[in-house]
Amino acid sequence: MCGIVGAVADRQVQNILLEGLKRLEYRGYDSAGMAVLSADARLSRQRAVGKVAALEEKLQASGLRGHVGIAHTRWATHGRPTENNAHPHQSGDSLAVVHNGIIENYEILKADLEGQGYVFLSETDTEVIAHLMSREVSRHDDLLSAFQHVVDMLNGAYALAVTHADYPDQIVGARKGSPLVVGVGIDEAFLASDPLALLQVTDRFIYLQEGDVARLTVGGNIEIFNAGQSVERPSAIFEHGDGAVSRGDYRHFMLKEIHEQSQVIANTLEGRLGDRHVFTRILGAEADDLLAHVKNIQIVACGTSYHAGMVARYWLEKLAGIPTQVEVASEYRYREVVVPEGTLFVTLSQSGETADTLAALRYASQKGGYLASLAICNVPGSSLVRESDLTLMTQAGPEIGVASTKAFTTQLVALLLLTLALRHVRQGDDDVQARLVNALRELPRLITRGLALDSAIETMSAAFAEKHHALFLGRGTMFPIALEGALKLKEISYIHAEAYPAGELKHGPLALVDSDMPVIAVAPNDELLEKLKSNLQEVRARGGELFVFADEHVAINESEGVHVLRMPAVDDVIAPILYTLPLQLLSYHVAVLKGTDVDQPRNLAKSVTVE
Ligand code: G6P
C-alpha cells in the first residue's frame, strides 16, 4: 500500500528519501515520486510510473537535490497509476503534499475549490489537500496553523506530509487512520509510514497517535499537537535491527521468511511455556481473572490472518470448550452483530494497521458489551495494539514478502498458546496440556525437518507451472490450511486456486476434476484420515492428479497419478502449523518457475490501510 518518507536535515536528503522508498517497495505500489526544497528554497519534483528504479533514473538525470523533502510510493485508489496521479501533488510552484489513505469528502471539497478557480490536474483525492493548503497558507501566518485548519476539513483516513517553499526549514505531517512515525535523528528528523523506511538513518521513533499533527524543523526539533494542544509522545527504539530487512543470501524475502520460521516460532514461545502448562500471564498480570470470565470468543481478521483465526476456532472449541466465531473484518464491521455475554473480541493482524480490522475493533469498542478486546499482532506500537485492551505479540520480526508466511505460523502458535492458557484457567493442569506444551517445545526442531523437504517440493512444483487451476483439500483444522495454501498459490503465481473441506467435494467441485486440475491434499495422521482417503479415491476415479502431503506413517502410497510427500510425524493438534510449510514452499517454487514478482505480486499490498 502507499508509503511516505519525509526528511529535514542540514545535509542533502534526496538519497535518504530514495532509500526509504526502496525499503517501502515491499508494501506494494505502482508509481513513485519525490519533491525537495533546495538551499535557495526552490521546490523540485520528479515522479515516475512503475518501480522506484524508474524514479531513481529520473532523479539522477534531473540532479534533484535538497535538504528538506517528501517522497511517496502510490498504490492506486482514486485514478489510474499514471505520472499525473503519482504523488507528491502540488498546488502552484511552492507546495507539495504526499498522502496515504482516502479522503471521503473530496468531491465536495473539489467542487468548492473549482468554484474558487483552482484547476485540478489529476484524478486523485489527494490533490484537494494541495489546493486547500495553498488557500489556507495565504490565510494563515504559519504553515502549521494552515495545515491544522486543512486537516480539520478532511473526512476519511490519512497520513500526510507537506512541504512549502515559504517555510524552507520544516515539514508538517498528520495521521488519522493511516500510520505515520517520526524518526528521531541527531539534529535532523524524519517522517515515514513505516519505521523500516528509516532504519538507515535512525532506530528511534515516535509513533504518532490518532489526530496528531507534527512539525519537524531543521536542527531536529520535533513538535507534536493534538486537537490544537501541544502533546508529549514517547520515543522508542526499534528492536529488530536493520539486518532483519535485508534478503541476505536468499533469492527472495519470501524464501528467507519461510526459512526463518523455526527461529521466530521459538521466539514466540519464549518465556510463555511452563513445565506442564502455558503461563496465563502471557496476556498480562490480571489475565487469570479475565480469562476465567470468557464464555465466547469472536475472532476478526483479513486475508491470511483470517485463516489463522479459522484454525483457532477448532482449537478453542475442542481444547478450551469455548464457543468461537470467526469472521472477515470487512463483513463484521458493517453488520448488526449480537454479542453473547462474556465475549472476548480478538483481532489478528500481522501489521496491526489493516483498515478493516481496525474499523471492526472500533466498531466493537463503540458498540460495547464485550468482555475485552485482545490483539494478536506482530507490530508493537501499531494502531491495533494501542487500541486494544490486551495484546499478545507474535515475534515474527519484520515480514517483507507481501504473501504472509512466518507471520501466519507465529499467529497460529500465539493462538494455540491462548487456547491452552484458557484451558488452564478453567481446569488447572492436565495431561493434554503437558503433552501439547511438550509438542510446542519440539516444534522449532520439527519445522526445521519440515523445511528439509524444500528440494523435493521444488521438483514437485514443475507439475503446476503450466496449469491454470488447482484444488486444495483438507478436513478439520486442515481445511483452513488448504485455504491458506490456495491463497498463497493465487497470490504469487496467479494460478486460480480454490480450497474445499474434502467432505464438500461431491457437492460441486468434483465436477471440475480432470487431468488438468491438480488436487493437493493435506493428510496428517488424524481422526479424519480415513474419510479424507475416501475423498482422494473419488478424485482418482475421475482422472484427477493427486499431490498428497501425508504423515510418514500413513498408508497412502505413490501410484500412477498419486504423488506423496512424507511429512514428519506430528501431534495432530500441532499439525496445521507444520503442514503450512510445504504449501508455502510449493507456491513459492511455482511462482519462481512462472517468473512472477514473488515478493511484490501484482495488484497486492502488504499492509492494506484503506478500505
Ligand atoms: C494483505 C496482505 C496479506 C495479509 C492481509 C491482512 O492482504 O497482503 O498477506 O494477510 O493483508 O493483513 P494483516 O496485517 O492484518 O495481517
| pLDDT tens-digit series, residues 538-577 | 888 888 899 999 999 888 888 888 999 999 999 999 999 9
Span of 51-65, 192-206, 362-376, 504-518 with lowest mean pLDDT: 504-518
Our mutation pick for probing the ligand 1 site, out of 379, 404, 490, counting the most ligand atoms within 8 A of Cβ, is 404
361 and 487 housed in the same domain: no
Distance CA 304, CA 298 (A): 17
Mean pLDDT rounded to a whole number for the chain? 93
**Model confidence at 110, in pLDDT bands (50, 70, 90)?**
very high
Domain presence at residue 245: no
Give the domain range for residue 559.
454-594
Residues with a catalytic annotation lie at 2, 606
Query: What's the pLDDT at 275?
Result: 87
In a domain, 442, yes or no: yes
Ligand 1: does its nearest atom lie under 6 Å from the Cβ of 404? yes
The predicted structure's pLDDT at residue 241: 65
Residue 515 lies in a domain: yes
User: Is the predicted pLDDT of residue 77 greater than 80, yes or no?
Assistant: no
Domain membership of residue 185 (yes or no) is yes
Residue 565 lies in a domain: yes
| CB of 490 closer than 6 angstroms to any ligand 1 atom | no
Query: Quick one: 441 and 460 in the same domain?
Result: no
Phi, psi for residue 231 in degrees, rounded to 5? -130, 155
Contacts of 232 (CB under 8 A, 6+ apart): 224
> What average pLDDT does the segment 362-389 reach?
93
128 lines ligand 1 (CB under 6 A): no
Measured in Å, residue 415 CA sits from the centre of ligand 1 at: 17
- The lowest-confidence range among 456-465, 470-479, 522-531 is 522-531
Residue nearest to atom 15 of ligand 1 (CA): 349
| Ligand 1 near 402 CB (within 6 A) | yes
Residue 608: its pLDDT value, please?
80
Atom number, ligand 1, closest to the C-alpha of residue 28: 8
Weakest mean pLDDT among 230-244, 295-309, 455-469: 230-244
Let me know if residue 458 belongs to a domain.
yes
| Confidence category of residue 244, pLDDT binned at 50, 70, 90 | low
For residue 578, what is the domain's CATH number?
A: 3.40.50.10490
Co-location of 442 and 464 in the same domain: no
Residue 589 has pLDDT above 90, yes or no: yes
CA of 607 to the centre of ligand 1 (A): 6
Final residue of a domain: which of 400, 435, 451? 451
Q: Is the CB of 371 under 6 A from ligand 1?
A: no
Q: H helices of 29-176, where?
A: 52-62, 106-115, 127-139, 143-153
* Residues 480 and 414 reside in one and the same domain: no
Nearest alpha carbon to residue 524 among 461, 457, 470, 577: 577
Say how many Å lie between the CA of residue 349 and the centre of ligand 1. 7
- Cell numbers representing residue 256 in the block: 528467507
CA of 512 to the centre of ligand 1 (A): 29
More confident residue, 10 or 28: 10
Q: Is 88 in the pocket of ligand 1 (CB under 6 A)?
A: no
Q: Are residues 215 and 276 in the same domain?
A: no
> What string of DSSP letters covers 495-552?
-EEEEEEGGGGGGTGGGG-STTS-EEEEE-SSTTHHHHHHHHHHHHHTT--EEEEEET
Q: Looking at the structure, do residues 166 and 231 belong to the same domain, yes or no? A: yes
Q: Is 604 in the pocket of ligand 1 (CB under 6 A)?
A: yes
Q: What is the CATH number of the domain that holds 206?
A: 3.60.20.10
Give how many domains the chain has, as a whole number.
Answer: 3
Identify the domain boundary among 451, 474, 502.
451
> Do 438 and 535 belong to one domain?
no
Together in a domain, 473 and 537: yes
**Domain co-membership, 156 together with 207:** yes
- Residues 6 or more apart in contact with residue 296 via CB below 8 angstroms: 322, 323, 324, 325, 340, 341, 342, 343, 344
Q: Parallel, antiparallel, or unpaired for β 496-501 and 469-474?
A: parallel
Strand partners, 221: 217
Ligand 1 midpoint to CA 51 (Å): 22
What pLDDT, on a 0 to 100 scale, did the predictor assign at position 503? 87
86, 181: one domain: yes
Q: Is the predicted pLDDT of residue 482 greater than 90, yes or no?
A: yes
Q: Which atom of ligand 1 is nearest to the CA of 407?
A: 16
Taking only the tens place, the pLDDT of each residue in 436-446 is 999 999 999 99
Asked if the structure places residue 242 within a domain, the reply is no
* Domain end residue (candidates: 410, 433, 451): 451
Coil, helix or strand at residue 332: helix
Residues 61 and 21 in one domain: yes
> Per DSSP, what are the bridge partners of residue 45?
35
Q: Whose alpha carbon is nearest atom 8 of ligand 1?
A: 606
pLDDT value of residue 544: 86
Whether 246 is in a domain gets the answer no
By the 8 A CB rule, do 42 and 36 touch? no
Ligand 1 atom closest to the Cα of residue 404 is: 9
Question: In angstroms, rounded to a whole number, what is the distance separating the alpha carbons of residues 51 and 133?
Answer: 29
Same domain, 20 and 62: yes
Given this model, what pLDDT does residue 378 score? 93
Q: Read off the pLDDT band of 99 (50, 70, 90).
A: very high
- Cα 309 to averaged position of ligand 1 atoms, centre (Å): 13
